[in-house]
Amino acid sequence: MRLQKYLAHAGVASRRKAEELIAAGRVRVNGRVVRELGTSVADGDRVQVAGRAVEVPAQHRYVVLHKPDKVMTTMRDPEGRRTVADLVPRELGRIVPVGRLDYDTSGVLLMTDDGELAHVLMHPRFGVEKTYRAVVRGKLAPDDVKKFLEGVRLEEGSARPAKVRVVRASSRASEIDITIHEGRNRQVRRMFEATEHPVSSLVRLRFGPIALGSLAPGHWREATEKEIAALRVLAHAAQSENRT
């Protein structure tokens, strides 16, 4: 595998940034600084970036599911309701959901057997950006938008600032795209409730670099290499942040 691809797979940086690191002489293979972009890395080679060892993780599965509503984001439900496990084939192995969507929320859900990546992406200190489309009662006033930008007050304390974009508005109901960085329980629903615009439907359009796109409810696909690399870059950045 080419060195820049190896670094991107390991989550060190995007392929472009990896090329810059190589050209800048910050990458060593088996102890020697390597500046040639096409350099191949074979099994057993030791790769270091800025003195730190870098490894491509073992093969894992990354699955993007369009969770429909009326489905539990668990692998089993004691009450016998449909779960996400009913929507992905067993052959995909021991994949589990990264985070949770409410029973009544649909949209993009990442599932993986990469426990380490999942752990970092779910860590409350490190907020993956998530965008939801909400249908809410009534029309948002400028003051409501300000509340979202400043951090809606919730029972347990203020939420972090959220971006909202009005997609369609009428006095009866509005469609709003909202982007948050946290994953508190029923957070989006509670934020809109707090501004007296209860949610009647909620769809997650994006989870970090993964967009729902045209994936139909109940359908799944493998994440693309580009998406996986972007997730690793995110997780790597989070880990570096936690180290400082």
User: What span, in angstroms and rounded, lies between the C-alpha atoms of 76 and 180?
Assistant: 28
Tell me if 189 contacts ligand URA by CB under 6 A: yes
Alpha-carbon radius of gyration of the chain:
21
Task: Rank residues 217 and 236 by Cβ distance to ligand URA and give the closer one.
Answer: 217
For the segment 104-123, give every residue that binds ligand URA (CB under 6 A). 105
Tell me if 193 contacts ligand URA by CB under 6 A: no
Beta-carbon contacts of residue 29 (< 8 Å; ≥ 6 apart):
3, 39, 41, 45, 46, 47
User: What span, in angstroms and rounded, lies between the C-alpha atoms of 216 and 107?
Assistant: 9
Beta strands, E only, 22-85 = 27-29, 32-33, 47-49, 52-54, 62-67
Phi, psi angles (nearest 5°) of residue 101: -115, 145
Catalytic residue, from 69, 77, 102, 113: name it.
Answer: 102
45 given a catalytic annotation = no
Q: Among 77, 102, 113, 193, which residue interacts with ligand URA (rule: CB under 6 A)?
A: 102
* CA-angle at 161, arms to 159 and 164, nearest 5°: 115
Tell me if 101 contacts ligand URA by CB under 6 A: yes
CB of 70 to ligand URA, least distance (A): 13
CB of 165 to ligand URA, least distance (A): 17
- Binding segment toward ligand URA, per CB under 6 A, in 42-50, 110-118, 164-172, 187-195: 187-195
CB of 88 to ligand URA, least distance (A): 19
